[in-house]
Structure 1
Amino acid sequence: MIPGKFAYAKPSSVAEATAMLKEDADEVYVLAGGQSIISMMKLRQSAPRRLIDLNGIDELRAIEVGADEISIGAMATQHQVINDAKLAEACPLLAEAAAQIADPQVRYRGTIGGNAANGDQANDMPAVMQALDAEYVLASADGERSVKARDFYEGGLETERAENEILVRIKIPRPAAGHGWAYVKQKRKTGDYATAAVAVLLRKDGGGFADVALGLTNVADVPVCATEAAELLKGPGDAEAAAAKAAELADPPEMDPRGPAEFRRHLVAVLAKEAIAAAAARAK
């Protein structure tokens, strides 16, 4: 199908983009990679009056890996994330998750900011960002503010971002050297959203684990930061109990084309055990 009529603007700076939103944010959509919004517009599920295209803002594509913090511009593509050697060394969980998003065509165009910011619980990066304890930097004409990924998601396609704000970068505490990681995803076919997926981050601590975090994808109306499950894995830990708790924390809808709720909760437990085992094996 063909989208309805809309106005189009392509600013060359964050200041220009936020000024446009300050002037007029009513039914104005911000375009990043376009992998979600363009499809919705073609299906007439979304009908923005105006699009503000961020693809002319080069500063939003930068990836910086520091000693203590990683900063990723919101317009960095999944392809960039996968192929940045310094990022892969510092935080391999990001590349592992990005490589499982859709297909190469989508990964070349889709952005990490767009995937994280639009509030779709089926997207992969929201749960990963929660596991990484990331912060989202939001810019408006009045300045910047930061929101924890764990506080950002409010409901299906509903987030803390105001209409006049743009996600400009993502800040991630650099994981400790020798940490373990995994993103395990089950989907019906290549290019599909996850039926369920689990992100795990942990660090070996003596005979057990510390700094444990679990994130769950597409098993509730928001991405799930499975804190209670992570607590069960700390210290000597119990992977079976942690996986079972992750399944309890999942809240999938009873009727869903990807399977009934009982099946998807069972799948979370299976994927969590696999992800925990993989992360533990990688930890040094």
Structure 2
Amino acid sequence: MIPASFDYEVAESVEHALRLLGSDAEAKLIAGGHSLVPALKLRIARPSQLVDIGRLSGLSYVRDAGTQLAIGALTRHKAVRDDPLLQEHCPIVSTTAGMIGDPQVRHRGTIGGSLAHGDPASDLPAVMLALGAEMVVRGPDGERTVPASAFFAGVFETAASAPGHMLVEVRVPKLGDATGWSYLKLRRRAQDWATVGVAALVYRNGGDVVGASVALTNMGGTPVRAQAVEDALAAGASPAEAAAHAAEGTAPSSDTAASAEFRGHLARVLTRRALDEALSR
């Protein structure tokens, strides 16, 4: 399908992009375009103006920020996958980036675009929720830091989708050697969105499990924290016993990829496998 007509502007800086966004409430940002362009073609998105920020090289980086790693919003998925800091200190992020789409998508798509788009079937939002990551959003009133738990507001709706706002940086914690991790998903074809995905982190102290963080992909309108699984593990349940609670409190949809019932089944199976893999690391 052909997109609806729109104006097109190339932003020369973050400030320029924000001015363009502020002058038109229907404007949308575009960088890699792998999230927005399909929506344009289907006319799910009909912006009056596209603001191209793909040339803002200053937003492409991974930096050590003490207890966190700071990732520029325009860092490509391939760069996230290959970055040595992320591979050493937060490998769940680099590994998940390497699972996104296909090589073309990973070479052009950006971490900021994936997160700001707010697609419930996207992989990285669940990982960020499990990590307790922070998103740095810039807007008319300056810059603010939004926790992942408050960033994702609904289907294709995030704290960065408000008029005149822009995601500029993602901050993820450094994981210690005692933290096990896993991201698993099921998809029909290699380049497809996740039918269901599970991000799992297991925290240990002297070999004993002292906590866990589990988040689900495509089990609701936003990434969903599997609180019942975490509570069961904290109460001493085995991974298999805890995983049986994975679908509790979720609202998966039914579509051509899977029914809601089957998604609930997948959530339980993948959560058990993700916990087992996290515990093995």
TM-score of Structure 1 vs Structure 2, range by shorter chain: over 0.9
Secondary structure of 1:268's counterpart equals: helix
Q: How many angstroms does 1:229 deviate by?
A: 1.4
- Corresponding position of 1:242: 242
List aligned pairs for 1:195-214, cutoff 5 A.
195-214=195-214
Cα distance in 2 for residues equivalent to 1:2 and 1:229: 44
- Corresponding position of 1:119: 118
Cα distance in 2 for residues equivalent to 1:204 and 1:238: 15
Secondary structure of 2:197's counterpart equals: strand
Cα distance in 1 for residues equivalent to 2:122 and 2:113: 10
- Corresponding position of 2:272: 273
Q: Which moved more, 1:175-184 or 1:73-82?
A: 175-184
Structure 1 residues 144 and 238 mapped into 2: Cα distance closer, same or farther (>3 Å)?
Answer: same
- Corresponding position of 2:154: 155
After TM superposition, where is structure 1 displaced by more than 4 Å over at least 4 residues in a row?
none
Q: TM-score, normalised by structure 1?
A: 0.93
Opposite residue 130 of structure 1, the aligned amino acid is L
Opposite residue 194 of structure 1, the aligned amino acid is A
Q: Which moved more, 1:263-272 or 1:237-246?
A: 237-246
Cα distance in 1 for residues equivalent to 2:71 and 2:78: 13
Gaps of 5+ in 2: none
Opposite residue 248 of structure 1, the aligned amino acid is E
Q: How many angstroms does 1:241 deviate by?
A: 2.7
Opposite residue 41 of structure 2, the aligned amino acid is K
List aligned pairs for 1:59-208, cutoff 5 A.
59-161=58-160, 162-208=162-208
Q: Which moved more, 1:54-63 or 1:40-49?
A: 40-49
- Corresponding position of 2:21: 21
Cα distance in 1 for residues equivalent to 2:106 and 2:235: 37
Cα distance in 2 for residues equivalent to 1:59 and 1:133: 25
How many matched pairs?
A: 280
Q: Which moved more, 1:186-195 or 1:152-161?
A: 152-161
Q: How many angstroms does 1:26 deviate by?
A: 1.8
List aligned pairs for 1:22-61, cutoff 5 A.
22=22, 24-61=23-60
Q: Which moved more, 1:34-43 or 1:119-128?
A: 34-43
CA contact (8 A) 1:81 1:98 kept: yes
Cα distance in 2 for residues equivalent to 1:79 and 1:244: 34
Q: How many angstroms does 1:154 deviate by?
A: 2.0
- Corresponding position of 1:252: 252
Gaps of 5+ in 1: none
CA contact (8 A) 2:229 2:245 kept: yes
Opposite residue 244 of structure 1, the aligned amino acid is A
Secondary structure of 1:213's counterpart equals: strand
- Corresponding position of 1:10: 10
Q: How many angstroms does 1:205 deviate by?
A: 2.0
Opposite residue 260 of structure 1, the aligned amino acid is S
Q: How many angstroms does 1:274 deviate by?
A: 0.5
Cα distance in 2 for residues equivalent to 1:64 and 1:259: 39
CA contact (8 A) 2:216 2:225 kept: yes
Q: How many angstroms does 1:243 deviate by?
A: 0.8
Q: TM-score, normalised by structure 2?
A: 0.94
CA contact (8 A) 1:180 1:281 kept: yes
CA contact (8 A) 1:209 1:235 kept: no
Percent identity, aligned pairs only, is: 39
Cα distance in 1 for residues equivalent to 2:51 and 2:2: 19
